[in-house]
Structure 1
Amino acid sequence: MIPEDLYYSEEHEWVRVDDDVVTIGITDFAQDQLGDIVYVELPQVGDAVEAGSTVGELESTKSVSDIFSPVSGEVVARNDALDGGEEVINSDPYGEGWLFKVRVGDDATEGLLTPEEYTGLTSA
């Protein structure tokens, strides 16, 4: 099930907009494709990130996958609870499994997919 209140990237990240700060995580589809996540490398607070750029990585029992920032801005928080608790990304990707937060400019959703568009992407 794809939450209707989020935006999505073609790289399978989700974005929750809350004024000028967005929360970013990976979708249920992405965590399912990766398998059991065992290690997470996240950007540091204060890092400047560009939409589409690699900002970290996820390591699973199957593979290593880059984390891409779906937006441009400054990292203002990271989910340090994932250090040693990576499995929460598999069990709750849209909640406690969030990855990092970015302070963005005016149009945080530019270039992102709606839930309907993302559903089309994952069912193709």
Structure 2
Amino acid sequence: MSATKYTEEHEWLKIDDHGLVTVGITDFAQDHLGDLVYVQLPDIGKEIEKGQEAAVIESVKTASEIMMPASGVITEVNEALAEEPGKVNEDPLGEGWFFRFQANDVAGITGLMDEDGYKAFLATLG
């Protein structure tokens, strides 16, 4: 069974039973960024520490970084985004995912916001 968690940076994380984490951005984030035109994904096999830049996304409005939500090793990237970065706008919580990684410590991720907590957080942004 997988759990979905959210960060204050508007990233979502789906965690499976084996500590494999899929990362994407929320509908709120893609809406505020506008149409994505470029996505730079991390290299498979790269170990990235929590808080370090993992991916770069560029939209018609701005460029933004996706920070690593926990330390781990990149196991897969969404190759389709290289040709079709708009998938993030079309389906941010599904086919618009960015990368998967094997978390070194899942405990830090499980403490993030659940869906209700994220909705409450959004309400504070006014």
Q: CA deviation at 1:67?
A: 0.9
**How does the TM-score come out when normalised to structure 2?**
0.88
Percent identity over the alignment is 43
Report if the CA contact (8 A) 2:5-2:110 is conserved: no
Give ranges in structure 2 of 5+ residues lacking alignment.
none
Paired residue total? 120
Report if the CA contact (8 A) 2:4-2:13 is conserved: yes
1:1-124 matches, within 5 Å, as 5-18=3-16, 19-108=18-107, 109-124=109-124
Q: Larger % of helix: which?
A: 2
Residues 54-90 of structure 1: CA deviation (Å, up to 9, x unaligned): 1121100000011111121000000011011000100
Q: CA deviation at 1:106?
A: 4.3
Report if the CA contact (8 A) 2:57-2:65 is conserved: yes
For the aligned residue pairs, the C-alpha RMSD in angstroms reads: 1.3
Report if the CA contact (8 A) 1:70-1:112 is conserved: no
Give ranges in structure 1 of 5+ residues lacking alignment.
none
Q: CA deviation at 1:105?
A: 2.9
Q: Secondary structure at the match of 1:83?
A: helix
Identify if the C-alpha distance between structure 1 residues 63 and 106 changes in structure 2 by more than 3 Å, giving closer, same or farther. Answer: closer
